[in-house]
Chains A and B, each alone.
Chain A
């Protein structure tokens, strides 16, 4: 078993570390891992959707995604860890700790500023929002596998106890996963996030946000509902999901914007579905995917279409388009292009460009907004289970029907991520 495990962990590219399939799961996701590796994320994760708790292979791969081993910092014993499983593989533990140093909010007017000093035409220098330290995720996982066909897993985001969570965000997730014959669908049920497009580990991405107010996501980080979802993955290049959910948390998210026209009905059910095709071109070493998803609840409908191509040890290119509609003529459309370059297994350079537009027919007249965002950064894994993610983020929020409250904010951020 030891030899087999070693072989697997060596055979898997180190980029498989998180190996998160593009989909919804109990935690944040790096879909580039799946694209570059071309491996099903269940290879590394407990959930067939990827994300969240890692299985022993995923855990072992993470151990080797590093610029330096623990011995380099005087902790050689930590390099000799054995496993993340207990009781003959019947139980697994894990954790994600994530925090970010960033400026929250938008610039404020500075009465003493001179428009001539502005970098961008038509704007005036403002006061930067304060730089704050934001605990995002402190989430332990526990997974139990009582039988070969049943997995029970759950997590709790302890950092939400400080009150820092978005409306509609759940601090915990729990699910049972029934996985029998590989040719049959897998069922996961519990408090889970429906499958929605491609789930990235950056909740500021515009594909789940609103151009009118990009800080206020339509679908918040950690969004989850009571419900169930079937996932059928009979062959390597084809996958389909379909689910039904309550919509209490989606409703909570929408009630936070009760004066806005984005609403869901109070008692309707939410439904979700996604179709993905994932052809591989082995001669070229290319892995690809493309597909589409829909999430509906009441008058809200969110549709996503996505495509991606990746090459092992090179990187990946992903694009995603999203369009959400609601009552009162509300629409928001977003387009994201994300390129990643695998400089080293432990150093990935990323660039992302996004644009979103929103329209709503408010009582005071139509409101049209446009937001553009550019993000440049690296994902650096200096030690096993440690990720540092410095980024530069430039966002511009424009409104076409009124000129107030437009802003441009360019800032450096630093995200730290410890995981096991």
Chain B
């Protein structure tokens, strides 16, 4: 710590505060508009039919499989005897794809899905539970499931 760099002449505190105030006001005005969030889900893939023959893991409670419906990347989870849950398998934290037994782990007892990339956890409805901050819920999709027949349908329009 042996050298000293001379500071240039600076403007006053008043001018700083004035500039800061003007900048903040302009930013606030700009923030009032122009934000937009729009989607297009025009039905190219409106539903996904499945059965336990195609996805044997769904024959038992606690089973989980990855299924694609067009570009929709799903996890199908046999939550109970009568229920199958369908969630988007792209983690909302860092977008890891929760491939069963690789990146995604379903705890049948706790009914909790863990993304092993960074241990974000979600419940069977996709609700974010724990893990790194700033994580949104996983999109979930309504499922009709006939346990006796072992068949079901995921309504992708319901996300």
Residues of A near any B CB (own CB < 8 A): 1-2, 5-6, 9, 56, 60, 63-64, 66-74, 79-83, 85-86, 88, 103-109, 118-120, 122-130, 132-134, 162-167, 212-213, 215-216, 255-260, 362, 364, 367, 380, 382, 390, 392, 394, 399, 401-412
- Kindly list chain B residues whose C-beta atoms are within 8 Å of the C-beta of A6: 5-6
- Kindly list chain A residues whose C-beta atoms are within 8 Å of the C-beta of B40: 122-124, 403, 406-407
Query: Total A-B residue pairs with C-beta atoms closer than 8 Å?
Result: 213
- Kindly list chain B residues whose C-beta atoms are within 8 Å of the C-beta of A83: 1-5
Q: A64-B7, A130-B134, A411-B35 are in contact. List 6 more A-B contacts (CB 8 A).
A: A9-B5, A83-B5, A109-B157, A213-B90, A256-B117, A412-B35
* CB within 8 Å for A73 and B16 given contacts A1-B3, A108-B39, A407-B38: yes
7 nearest CB pairs, A to B: A69-B10, A163-B132, A79-B7, A107-B37, A402-B70, A123-B38, A216-B95
> Can you spell out 15 A-B residue pairs with CB atoms less than 8 angstroms apart?
A66-B10, A67-B16, A68-B16, A69-B8, A72-B13, A88-B2, A123-B38, A164-B118, A165-B118, A367-B71, A380-B23, A382-B16, A392-B34, A404-B41, A407-B40
Residue contact B30 to A412, C-beta cutoff 8 Å = yes
User: Which residues of chain B from 84 to 125 have a CB within 8 Å of any chain A CB?
Assistant: 90, 92-97, 99, 102-103, 117-120
B147 on the A face (CB < 8 A): no
Residue contact A72 to B37, C-beta cutoff 8 Å = no
Residue contact B39 to A124, C-beta cutoff 8 Å = yes
- Kindly list chain A residues whose C-beta atoms are within 8 Å of the C-beta of B136: 104-105, 129-130
- Kindly list chain A residues whose C-beta atoms are within 8 Å of the C-beta of B35: 128, 410-412
* A251: min CB distance to chain B, Å: 13
Residue contact A71 to B43, C-beta cutoff 8 Å = no
Residue contact A67 to B19, C-beta cutoff 8 Å = yes
How far is B42's CA from A90's CA once the two chains are assembled, in angstroms?
A: 63
Residue contact A162 to B3, C-beta cutoff 8 Å = no
* B26: min CB distance to chain A, Å: 10
- Kindly list chain A residues whose C-beta atoms are within 8 Å of the C-beta of B93: 163-164
Closest residue of chain A to B42 (Cβ to Cβ) is A403
Residue contact A163 to B37, C-beta cutoff 8 Å = no
Residue contact B139 to A81, C-beta cutoff 8 Å = no
B12 on the A face (CB < 8 A): yes
Residue contact A382 to B37, C-beta cutoff 8 Å = no
* B41: min CB distance to chain A, Å: 5
- Kindly list chain A residues whose C-beta atoms are within 8 Å of the C-beta of B103: 255-256, 258
Residue contact B10 to A118, C-beta cutoff 8 Å = no
* A350: min CB distance to chain B, Å: 16
User: Which residues of chain B from 12 to 47 have a CB within 8 Å of any chain A CB?
Assistant: 12-13, 15-16, 19-20, 23, 27, 30-31, 34-45
Across the interface, A64 reaches (CB within 8 A) one of B3, B8, B134, namely B8
- Kindly list chain A residues whose C-beta atoms are within 8 Å of the C-beta of B1: 82-83, 85-86
Residue contact A68 to B97, C-beta cutoff 8 Å = no
Of the four ranges (under 10, 10 to 19, 20 to 34, 35 or more), the interface on chain B belongs to 35 or more
B4, B37, B73, B136: most-surrounded residue (chain A CB, <10 A): B37
- Kindly list chain B residues whose C-beta atoms are within 8 Å of the C-beta of A394: 36
How far is B30's CA from A411's CA once the two chains are assembled, in angstroms?
A: 11
Residue contact A164 to B41, C-beta cutoff 8 Å = no
Residue contact B10 to A72, C-beta cutoff 8 Å = yes
Residue contact A80 to B7, C-beta cutoff 8 Å = yes
How far is B30's CA from A1's CA once the two chains are assembled, in angstroms?
A: 48
* B107: min CB distance to chain A, Å: 19
* CB within 8 Å for A56 and B132 given contacts A119-B36, A129-B37: no
How far is B12's CA from A128's CA once the two chains are assembled, in angstroms?
A: 41
* B104: min CB distance to chain A, Å: 10
- Kindly list chain B residues whose C-beta atoms are within 8 Å of the C-beta of A162: 132-133
- Kindly list chain A residues whose C-beta atoms are within 8 Å of the C-beta of B132: 162-164
How far is B39's CA from A403's CA once the two chains are assembled, in angstroms?
A: 10
How far is B9's CA from A79's CA once the two chains are assembled, in angstroms?
A: 10
Closest residue of chain B to A111 (Cβ to Cβ) is B158
- Kindly list chain B residues whose C-beta atoms are within 8 Å of the C-beta of A107: 37-39
- Kindly list chain A residues whose C-beta atoms are within 8 Å of the C-beta of B156: 404
How far is B41's CA from A404's CA once the two chains are assembled, in angstroms?
A: 5
Residue contact B41 to A403, C-beta cutoff 8 Å = yes
* A332: min CB distance to chain B, Å: 15
Across the interface, B97 reaches (CB within 8 A) one of A56, A85, A259, A411, namely A259
Residue contact B134 to A74, C-beta cutoff 8 Å = no
B2, B12, B92: most-surrounded residue (chain A CB, <10 A): B2
- Kindly list chain B residues whose C-beta atoms are within 8 Å of the C-beta of A163: 93, 118-120, 131-132
* B38: min CB distance to chain A, Å: 4
- Kindly list chain A residues whose C-beta atoms are within 8 Å of the C-beta of B72: 404-405
A68, A216, A404, A411: most-surrounded residue (chain B CB, <10 A): A404
- Kindly list chain B residues whose C-beta atoms are within 8 Å of the C-beta of A401: 71
- Kindly list chain A residues whose C-beta atoms are within 8 Å of the C-beta of B36: 119-120, 394, 408-410
